[in-house]
Amino acid sequence: MNTRHSGIGMTSQRTRLRMIERLREQGIRDEAVLAAMFEVPRHLFVDEALASRAYDDVSLPINFNQTISRPYIVARMIEVLRAGKPLGRVLEIGTGCGYQAAVLAQVAKEVYTVERVQPLYERARRQLRDLKLRNVSVRHADGSIGLPELAPFDGIIMACAAPALSSALREQLAVGGRMALPVGTQEQQLYLVERDAGGFRESTLEPVKFVPLLMGKQ
């Protein structure tokens, strides 16, 4: 067995269990999300030099001025997206290193994830392929416009902060769908957008801190 995959020392199952216990203490209640967080080896998505901190509740750098979100935020956003129900087709904006997409793959039927920075896209695609996650499709594209050709989505999740709620992304939500995204520049809030037959409902959940949404590809 690949010891880097199975985990030794600071990346062991015991370390992952401590992370799950901490997530419970922080208020995460969705057992499917907790199981997904335990299943995905977060240490594989960070540089080996940072592997000892992989299961701490901190964001970590992944180069190109991007970060891997802290475990609580990943769990919280996916819990908000699920709302206790199975997820069908999900769109993620901002693949980064691919960690959140890997967790989403445990609880959604299909995951489409978009990354604008080519080296991050290539790294995430390779890592997700190595983990044999066949229900994830990684795209190198400008995520700010979503993937209209594949809409509608049951869930949309953003790993970067938009200055305002995106009407383009909102329109790609299926009826009954939910979108979780950080909004704001200096001060950011986690927003939930829900779509039903009557239209859209928006609510703010809690303060967050994300890298900004950027336009175009590089």
Instruction: Show which residues are catalytic.
Output: 69
Q: What are the two backbone dihedrals, phi and then psi, of residue 10, each rounded to the nearest 5 degrees?
A: -70, -10
Tell me which H or E stretch contains 20: helix 13-25
Query: In residues, how long is the chain?
Result: 218
Q: Is 53 helix (H, G, I), strand (E, B) or coil?
A: helix
Cβ burial of 200 (10 Å; 0-12, 13-18, 19+) is middle
**Residues forming a β-bridge with 128:** none
Q: What are the two backbone dihedrals, phi and then psi, of residue 6, each rounded to the nearest 5 degrees?
A: -70, -30
For residues 28 and 75, the answer to whether their CB atoms sit within 8 Å is yes
